[in-house]
């Protein structure tokens, strides 16, 4: 089965990101294809490379980055949601005159068209968070 995932909540405000991560990992281990994970609204905060949780806490951003690298999962952050929350990649940094980028490895910024495409091409679109 081909699955697309939508994550609407940030990494430490809600269980949605943890649940989405575990769902994606389990789906991949079961032999399903996860075509894309799209992060929207506060969910884009999962892609910040500046996240530094306490040592005794889980590091959700690193989990997502490792999954992207190991399993070639496409992790897409909504560009409009990123702009509202101060998340920029190199292209957005240059375009907006910022002095640094802060997107973690394995993530990329793109538009809502990526979510629509994933939903159309997948057998199921699974949403985590409000």
pLDDT tens sequence for the chain (130 residues)? 999 999 999 999 899 999 999 999 999 999 999 999 999 999 999 999 999 999 999 999 999 999 999 999 999 999 999 999 999 999 888 888 989 999 999 999 999 999 999 999 999 999 999 8
Domain ranges of the chain: 2-128
Do the Cβ atoms of 12 and 46 come closer than 8 Å?
no
Out of 3.90.1660.10, 3.30.70.1520, 3.40.640.10, 3.40.1260.10, the CATH code matching 2-128 is 3.40.1260.10
Rounded to two decimals, what is the model's pTM? 0.95
Choice among 7, 76, 78, 82 that is catalytic: 78
8 A C-beta contact, residue 61 and residue 104: yes
Q: How many CB atoms lie within 10 A of CB 25?
A: 17
Active site residue 78: yes
């Amino acid at each position: 089965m081909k699955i697309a995932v939508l994550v609407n909540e940030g990494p430490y405000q809600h269980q949605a990101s943890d649940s989405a991560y575990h769902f994606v990992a389990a789906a991949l281990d079961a032999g399903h294809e996860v075509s894309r994970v799209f992060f929207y609204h506060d969910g884009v905060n999962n892609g910040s490379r500046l996240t530094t949780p306490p040592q005794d806490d889980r590091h959700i951003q690193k989990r997502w980055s490792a999954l992207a690298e190991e399993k070639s999962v496409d992790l897409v952050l909504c560009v409009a949601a990123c702009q509202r929350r101060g998340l920029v990649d190199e292209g957005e940094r240059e375009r907006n005159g910022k002095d640094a980028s802060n997107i973690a490895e394995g993530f990329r910024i793109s538009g809502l068209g990526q979510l629509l495409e994933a939903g159309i091409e997948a057998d199921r679109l699974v949403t985590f968070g409000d």
